[in-house]
């Protein structure tokens, strides 16, 4: 069994102040896989104090953007050298496909994007108007609490830690208890890459650990990815001390197939967008809205695609669908399927446990006869369950798509791409894809409504890691600074 007990503080591992242990179970074998701590309030306090001390240290405050970029480049190199190890951990601890996990969720590409995007951030500039002259700077927000989910190990850590480092912040990372081992390696890689002690800390744990981190008075920003319910709790707790919030939450995204859709071309994207990572993806396009006259064809195509899926061991290259992360998650998904049948939806295919000797597997499932009053159409299931919903007009499709408390992602499929974009512009959501599923790495990503607050990725992804500070200055100083900045002198944090 793997074992990573303790907390990572000041650049090294220390014993936890508590004795509560979480056993990670391999979802394919249902056997114990590893042990990790459930961090205590004292553990959190120790880590946050370390991060705050590092934030205020002269050495970290003096680092230039170029120096921090060099650290992040070294992190990427070290990460690249351990992809096979990290991919195997992901497959064995949460059931992600090994061959897919070798890409680490695009983590290396994300790091490249963050390095490129930070160069577009204007950290210091002068503004003059009839009322005076102002030096405007953008300075690190402070200690960041990075609370990450289990469904995208390594990628999630990169999204919280790397922009924080480049902005000049310090971080306390709390991985999900189901997937602590990749996060532990990532913290060690940061230290090996030359990130100073205390700048990146890690406390494993569950909800109580997360709440202690959110409540801590020295934490200035919460960067969280996870469920809407947990995000609401974080917003409530963080609001008590006016912490900066960046919350990437749940979704119930719609894929709208227009009347001229090429079904054969769309189905592979629908499969990736519905059943990728066994449906455990916040952006999953699980509501497939289809013109009524094409409805039967779409159902047949999805049923055929489901029959081609290979459910099994994520270490096997033939497998296309691995297990769900825990027995609790498997049972929750089966409960949604039962609710769909109870509410009157019809199973086209799937609907139960996969025919595998052991493991927390669910068959890829397609429902017909679904309307927006059913739980399978309104709630985030986080499993391989697709609802196909007919519509009579494009206005009807837009109304159905927007009839959701979520607004994270979505897609429109049509041969006429310009028309698809026109329809996509009418959907209330944070992002949309045209004839696809994924977004470009630098596209600002995040939700509206109950899908979250703030954006990640691109230059916009730095906004919540930085504070605007304004200085009223005399005109002579304003002219001098303007000339210096025009010559390329630019700081990326406090002088």
What's the CA gap between 14 and 466, in Å, rounded? 30
Which residue in 280, 290, 285, 250 sits closest to 269, CA to CA? 285
CB-based contact 218:48 (threshold 8 Å):
yes
Which residue in 208, 149, 123, 136 sits closest to 463, CA to CA? 123
3-state SS string for 262-329: CHHHHHHHHHHHHHHHHHCCCCCCCEEEEEHHHHHHHHHHHHHHHHCCCECCCCCCCCCECCCCCHHH
CA angle, corner 338, sides to 332 and 339, nearest 5? 90
Structure tokens at 309: 């899926």
Query: Which candidate in 282, 380, 456, 460 is catalytic?
Result: 282
The crossing angle, in degrees rounded to 10, of helices 181-192 and 155-167 is 30
The answer for residues whose C-beta is within 8 angstroms of residue 259's C-beta and 6 or more apart is 291, 293, 294, 414
CB-based contact 347:341 (threshold 8 Å):
yes
Q: Is 69 a known active-site residue?
A: no
What's the CA gap between 164 and 397, in Å, rounded? 40
The answer for residues whose C-beta is within 8 angstroms of residue 350's C-beta and 6 or more apart is 306, 337, 362, 363, 364, 365, 366, 384, 385
Please tell me the chain's helix, strand, coil percentages from 3-state DSSP, rounded to the nearest 5. 40, 20, 35
**Torsion over CA of 327, 328, 331 and 336, rounded to 10 degrees?**
-140
Beta-carbon count within 10 A of 475 CB = 10
Query: Which candidate in 157, 248, 380, 460 is catalytic?
Result: 248
Q: Is 248 a known active-site residue?
A: yes
What's the CA gap between 291 and 392, in Å, rounded? 6
Half-sphere exposure of 116 (CA within 13 A, CB side): 11
Helices (H), 359-489: 375-378, 394-402, 417-424, 475-486
First to last CA, the chain: 48
CB-based contact 323:360 (threshold 8 Å):
yes
Structure tokens at 150: 């289990």
What's the CA gap between 143 and 44, in Å, rounded? 12
Helix, strand, or coil here: 126? strand
Query: Which residues are tagged catalytic?
Result: 248, 282
């Amino acid at each position: 069994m793997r074992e990573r007990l303790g907390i990572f503080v000041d650049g090294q591992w220390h014993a936890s102040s508590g004795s509560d242990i979480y056993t990670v179970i391999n979802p394919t074998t249902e056997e114990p896989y590893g042990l990790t701590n459930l961090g205590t309030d004292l553990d959190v306090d120790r880590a946050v104090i370390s991060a705050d001390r590092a934030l205020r240290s002269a050495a970290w405050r003096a680092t230039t953007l170029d120096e921090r970029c060099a650290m992040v480049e070294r992190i990427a190199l070290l990460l690249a050298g351990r992809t096979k190890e990290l991919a195997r951990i992901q497959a064995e601890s949460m059931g992600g496909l090994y061959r897919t996990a070798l890409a680490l969720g695009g983590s290396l590409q994300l790091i490249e994007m963050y390095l490129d995007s930070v160069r577009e951030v204007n950290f210091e500039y002068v503004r003059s108007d009839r009322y005076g002259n102002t030096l405007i700077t953008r300075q690190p927000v402070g200690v960041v609490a990075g609370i990450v989910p289990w469904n995208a190990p390594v990628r999630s850590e990169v999204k919280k830690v790397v922009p924080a480092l480049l902005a000049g912040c310090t971080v306390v990372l709390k991985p999900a208890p189901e997937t602590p081992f990749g996060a532990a390696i990532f913290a060690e890689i940061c230290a090996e890459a030359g990130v100073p002690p205390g700048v990146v800390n890690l406390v494993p744990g569950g909800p109580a650990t997360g709440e202690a981190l959110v409540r801590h008075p020295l934490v200035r920003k919460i960067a969280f990815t996870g469920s809407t319910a947990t995000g609401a709790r974080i917003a409530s707790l963080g609001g008590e001390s006016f912490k900066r919030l960046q919350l990437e939450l749940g979704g119930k995204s719609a894929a709208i197939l227009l009347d001229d859709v090429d079904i054969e071309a769309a189905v592979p994207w629908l499969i990736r967008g519905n059943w990728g990572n066994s449906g455990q993806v916040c952006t999953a396009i699980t509501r497939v809205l289809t013109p009524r006259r094409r409805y039967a064809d779409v159902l047949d195509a999805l049923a055929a695609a489901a029959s081609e899926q290979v459910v099994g061991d994520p270490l096997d290259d033939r497998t296309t669908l691995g297990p769900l992360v825990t027995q609790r998650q498997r049972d929750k998904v089966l409960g949604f399927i039962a609710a769909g049948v109870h509410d009157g939806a019809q199973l086209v295919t799937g609907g139960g446990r996969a025919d595998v000797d052991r493991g927390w597997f669910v068959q890829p499932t397609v429902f017909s006869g679904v309307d927006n009053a059913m739980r399978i159409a309104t709630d985030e299931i986080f499993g391989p369950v697709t609802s196909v919903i007919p519509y009579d007009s494009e206005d009807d499709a837009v109304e159905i798509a927007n009839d959701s408390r979520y607004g994270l992602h979505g897609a429109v499929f049509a041969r006429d791409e310009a028309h698809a974009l026109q329809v996509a512009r009418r959907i209330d959501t944070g992002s949309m894809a045209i004839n696809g599923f994924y977004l470009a790495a630098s596209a600002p990503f995040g939700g509206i409504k109950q899908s979250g607050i703030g954006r990640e990725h691109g230059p916009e992804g730095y906004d919540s890691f930085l504070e605007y500070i304004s200085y009223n200055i005399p005109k002579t100083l304003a002219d001098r600074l303007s000339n210096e900045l025009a010559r390329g002198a630019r700081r990326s944090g406090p002088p």
